[in-house]
């Protein structure tokens, strides 16, 4: 019985990660193209990243809540946790940009492309275990 609940949990975790990755690839590819266009026209990589980050976060709440994690809990409580997770993700993205673009002079295009992947992994963990949390089977040793 215990092995079945663990297998079910792992199956749900893999399914949610696959859906999250698929939605993320589509939305982040579009967001990255917009980032490149806007920074080419406007400059200001960090300001552009900030604007696009929060537009993507808003879209992400609804798609991840329904499609990725199939969450049907309270929207108001979930929204507060989601905002906290997104602020942490944004701060991580900003820190990466500051460190590698401003301090180490790497090209912002490459840094942002890598930051998208790192922040996405960070957010998946927060979304799965903090924002849209579900019961996790207890594994007893011995």
Q: Using the structure block, give the residue that is written with the tokens 């994690």.
A: 69
In a domain, 141, yes or no: no
At 7-38, the pLDDT tens digits run 888 888 899 999 999 998 998 899 999 999 99
Residue 76 has pLDDT above 80, yes or no: yes
Kindly report the backbone phi and psi dihedral angles of residue 117, in degrees, each rounded to the nearest multiple of 5, phi listed first.
Answer: -70, -45
What is the pLDDT at residue 137?
53
At 43-75, the pLDDT tens digits run 899 999 999 998 999 998 988 888 888 888 778
Q: How many domains does the chain have?
A: 1
Q: Rounded CA gap, 34 and 113, in Å? A: 12
Residue range of the domain that includes 75: 2-131
In a domain, 138, yes or no: no
How many whole angstroms from its chain centre is CA 38? 22
Q: Rounded CA gap, 42 and 37, in Å? A: 8
In a domain, 68, yes or no: yes
- What pTM was estimated for this model as a whole? 0.81
Which alpha helices (H) appear in 43-74, and where do they start and end? 45-63
How many Cβ atoms sit within 10 Å of the Cβ of residue 88?
15
What is the pLDDT at residue 72?
83
């Amino acid at each position: 019985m215990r092995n079945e609940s663990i297998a079910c949990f792992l199956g749900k975790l893999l399914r949610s990660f696959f859906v999250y990755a698929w939605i993320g690839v589509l939305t982040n590819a579009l967001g990255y193209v917009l980032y490149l266009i806007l920074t080419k026209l406007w400059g200001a990589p960090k300001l552009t990243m900030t604007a696009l980050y929060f537009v993507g976060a808003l879209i992400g709440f609804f798609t991840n809540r329904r499609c990725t994690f199939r969450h049907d809990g309270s929207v108001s409580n979930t929204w507060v946790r989601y905002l906290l997770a997104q602020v942490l993700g944004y701060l991580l993205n900003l820190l990466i940009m500051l460190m590698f673009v401003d301090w180490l002079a790497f090209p912002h295009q490459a840094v942002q492309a890598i930051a998208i992947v790192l922040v996405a992994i960070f957010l998946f963990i927060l979304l799965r275990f903090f924002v849209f949390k579900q019961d996790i089977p207890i594994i007893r040793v011995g």
